[in-house]
Every structure is written in C-alpha cells, then in structure tokens.
Amino acid sequence: MVHIELNSNNELIIDGRHSVIEYSDNLIRVNTNKGIVKIIGINLEIVTMCDSCLEICGTIKCFEFEDKTQINRYSFLYDLVEYSGVMIEQGVDGK
C-alpha cells in the first residue's frame, strides 16, 4: 500500500516504494506501485528521499493520483481518502 500524507499545503509525504520520474520547482511526478503521483506547486523541493519515504516541501497547490484507468485530483481541502489501495491523509494543523 502507498500512504500519502498532506500536512497543510506545504508538506507532502509519500510512504511506500517509489521512484521520482520528473522534478522541477513547480512539478514533481513520482511513480509508485499503485500509480503516478503528480504534485503541482511553487518552490517544490524534495527534502527527504529514501527507499520507502519521500518528503516534499513547498507551496502545494494540488496533487493528482493517476492509475491506469483514471486520474484523481486532490487539493489540501480533503481530510481522508482511500482509493484503490492508496491512503491519502491530510493533517489539519489545528483548523
């Protein structure tokens, strides 16, 4: 299972096997065993990367999860979504 955690709109963590396939300061695409995660934002930066964890910081505008059949777009307004074995969770920072 892939676990995606969005903390406010400035940190996104992906737990699970992954590989970065595109990286710029406004777009990061990550291949996981469940599909591709596309992060769109401003001043994006990979601050931690190991075999099972990826931490991205910057101003995150939205992200998409794309599997072979459809694309799902999420913004930082979502609290908790589980889709096709991918857990997407948002930390709310007291709001």
The pTM for the full model equals 0.75
Q: What values do phi and psi take at 24, rounded to 5?
A: -145, 180
Instruction: Count Cα atoms within 13 angstroms, Cβ side, for 81.
Output: 17
Residue 77 has pLDDT above 70, yes or no: no
Tokens of 33: 């065993």
Residue 35's nearest CA partner among 12, 4, 79, 56 is: 4
Give the rounded percent of residues in the chain with a pLDDT score beyond 90. 37
pLDDT the model gives residue 46: 96
Instruction: Round to the nearest angstrom and report the end-to-end CA distance of the chain.
Output: 28
Decide: 29 and 40 in contact? Cβ < 8 Å: no
